[in-house]
Amino acid sequence: MTEVNCVSYGKWRSPLTSDLIVSATIGLSTPRFDGEDIYWLESRPLEGGRSVIVKYSPNGEHQDITPAPFNVRSRVHEYGGGAFLVQDSTVYFCNNSDQRVYIQKVGESPQPLTPESKLRYADFCLDKSHNRLICVCEDHSEENHEPQNKLVTINIITGEVKTLCKGADFYASPRISPNNSQLAWLSWNHPNMPWDSTELHLADINPDGSLTNITLVAGGENESICQPEFSPNGILYFSGDRSLWWNLYYRDEKGNIHSAYPLDAEFGYPHWVFGESVYGFEREDKIICTYTQDGCWFLGSIDKKTKSLTDYEIPFTNIAYLQVQGEEILFAGSSPSQPGAIVKMNLNHGQYEILKQSSNTIIDEGYISQPIPLEFPTSNGKTAYAWYYPPQNKDFVAPEGELPPLLVKSHGGPTAMTSASYNLRIQYWTSRGFAFVDVNYGGSTGYGRDYRQRLKGNWGIVDVEDCVNVAQYLVKEGKVDGDKLAISGGSAGGYTTLAALTFFDTFKAGASYYGVSDLEILATDTHKFESRYLDSLIGKYPEEKEIYQMRSPLYHIDKLSCPVIFFQGLEDKVVPPNQAEMMYNALKEKGIKTSYITFADEQHGFRKAENIKKALDTEYNFYIEIFSNH
């Protein structure tokens, strides 16, 4: 029997080292069918964060398709996604370093398809009738001007790029009908974000490849549309939130819109990246779909004739990138006890097969903390949501009467969501004796449009109060030590972190990963996709400049009196390094314990193993030093 040691919370020895986490974990996304073959994308920290297309053959063989140094990544909207397409054993992909589109026949070397330029591409579909790709293009040719977004065609023989549709500020999700006669796509304009207001368009494709009879199908002010898709018979479907939930709809032959199945659940994601998918067709009258309720994802089938929804019994609580090909489906799935995986499933008998796991390291369950869903009271008599992970390590207990330190995690976006999925970075903390709470503060996706819009005009208030209130709730419940509370977040979550540390005295320490300290600078110095985001989150700039200053931590350093550590990629175009530098220098001048860790070769989010490892261990040691004095 293993000896159990009595050691203070936070100081437990854990087998879940940062080395193990970065060496044993890869990112898995974007599974795709190509006949009997299957492809997906792997992000590999040990290869400098390089993303590689992998082919899985019916005989079980795995084969890397993308040779080094190619890195499959689009930079459209900076966040990318939708970076490759595979059809008939030919791969089309966007390469990170030059943003050119390459064509690669499996077994051969990649060849450049598009010329060298300042164009970026994403979200491809194949128009076989005209030997071309149709995709989103972001044109950075004009310096000192906002990039131009449009839909373009790329001739798959000559590489010639032609504009197909332009005029809107943003485009997404071009989808071609099964008979190549129609094209659907999404567009939206400043100051809207795609989860606020988008438009779904449908057009006929002329014999010469141009578009005609362009029709607005759905969307407009106060309606967000996701994932247009054609059924096998060419009926146009989409996910829209006109019912205040992203539900599935379709357009009949007369142009009328019908609900496929009404439910208080989300059949959709906020459009931060391209290429995500929540539904597909087993046949014309049967839709396979994934949806989220109360923070958990479910896999189901909608029978269009009976308008009924039937769930499949599977152990996955987080499901993404759903693909359907007849009776077989693919998705990226995970659960609290199961690492992320590419999963293939037969719909007839319900059996599934794991094709690749994000980690093959077997972790003893005695070191794995199971998430507990929380609904906690927050400001103005409302309720917010979180996942709570208690400390867990089979080798240790804490002295009687001692309570654990708490790390509050504020996710990015802020219109994102956290789910109960296998995450070794969370277990890194809990196996060392920290309690951890992952907050779906007001503004998060997954709880309907009304919950998502709690941040309208209230960024820096609602999110901050929810993070503060969940910490105070756990203290009141006797779960954690009120003198050892920390908060950490990246990007928008970094702003929430800095605002919580500045405007409240709840937390004793915090970590900002590429976070925002000056909202004015963010309003004037960020990329196009988010350049007007703050109009809705805070107010118009410069008309409401006072609100920007009032909510910017940098303007209120006098209120901040606890240690803060900053992590920043120096190539970040979303939240430039000056945001962290100014805050760090101000705290240092004030004499507050602080540290500024930079990574010269990272952008918005860290991809390289050595940088992920350094950030994780440095943050942990920072808290331990501070809490040891309490």
Domain of residue 572, CATH code: 3.40.50.1820
Q: Are residues 339 and 405 in the same domain?
A: no
Tell me, yes or no, whether 402 and 306 share the same domain.
no
Domain end marker among 319, 335, 358: 358
Which pLDDT does position 2 carry in this prediction? 64
Note the pLDDT tens digit of each residue in 424-442: 999 999 999 999 999 999 9
Q: Are 440 and 553 in the same domain?
A: yes
- pLDDT of 409: 98
The last residue of a domain, from among 358, 377, 405:
358
pLDDT digits (tens, 9 = 90+) for 155-193: 999 999 999 999 999 999 999 999 999 999 999 999 999
Q: Which of 358, 386, 404 is the last residue of a domain?
A: 358
- Residue 106 resides in a domain: no
Judge whether residue 522 has pLDDT over 70.
Answer: yes
Q: Among 17-31, 217-231, 398-412, whose mean pLDDT is lowest? A: 17-31
Report the 10 Å Cβ neighbour count for 59.
6
CB atoms under 10 Å from CB of 111, counted, come to: 10
Q: Do 312 and 446 share a structural domain?
A: no
Residue 607: pLDDT band (50, 70, 90) is confident
Question: Is residue 81 one of the residues assigned to a domain?
Answer: no
Q: Domain for residue 374, yes or no?
A: yes
Do residues 84 and 41 make contact, with C-beta atoms less than 8 angstroms apart?
A: yes
- Say whether both 469 and 562 belong to one domain: yes
Average pLDDT, the chain: 95
Task: Tell me the average pLDDT across 342-365.
Answer: 93
- Residues 157 and 137: their CA atoms lie apart, in Å, by 19
In a domain, 148, yes or no: no
Establish if 219 belongs to a structural domain: no
Integer Cα distance of 97 and 110 in angstroms = 14
Task: Name every residue whose Cβ is closer than 8 Å to that of residue 40 and which is 6 or more positions away in sequence.
Answer: 28, 29, 30, 31, 32, 53, 54, 56, 332, 342, 355, 356
Total domains in the chain come to 2
CB 219 within 8 A of CB 232: no
Q: Spell out a b/e string for 32-48, using b for 16 or more CB atoms within 10 Å of the CB, else e.
A: bbbeeebbbbbbbbebe
Look at residues 508, 492, 500 and name the one whose alpha carbon lies nearest to residue 605.
Answer: 492
Cβ distance 584 to 596 under 8 Å?
A: yes
Residue 136, pLDDT score: 98
Q: Strand ranges (DSSP E) for 306-405?
A: 308-311, 318-325, 328-335, 338-346, 352-357, 372-377, 383-389, 396-397
pLDDT for the residue 421: 87
Q: Are residues 444 and 532 in the same domain?
A: yes
Asked whether 87 and 131 are in contact (CB, 8 A), the reply is no
In a domain, 287, yes or no: yes
pLDDT at 526: 83
Same-domain pairing of 281 and 411 = no
Q: Mean pLDDT over residues 531-548, rounded?
A: 95
Spatial distance between the Cα atoms of 544 and 158, rounded to a whole number of angstroms:
50
* Domain extent at residue 299: 277-358
Let me know if residue 25 belongs to a domain: no
Cα distances (angstroms) measured from residue 158 to each of 28, 123, 161, 252, 628: 32, 20, 9, 38, 65
Task: Kindly report the pTM of this predicted structure.
Answer: 0.93
- 448 and 566 both lie in a single domain: yes
Identify whether residues 452 and 553 lie together within a single domain: yes
Is the model's pLDDT at 1 over the cut of 60?
Answer: no
Say whether pLDDT at 99 is over 70. Answer: yes
Residues 465 and 589 in one domain: yes
What pairing do the DSSP bridges indicate for beta strands 5-6 and 396-397?
A: parallel
Once rounded to an integer, what is the mean pLDDT over residues 255-260?
96
487 with 502, same domain: the answer is: yes
Same domain, 333 and 374: no
Cis, bond preceding 262 (omega within 30 deg of 0)? no
The answer to whether position 402 is within a domain reads yes
The SS3 of residue 621 is helix
Instruction: Please give the pLDDT value at position 574.
Output: 80
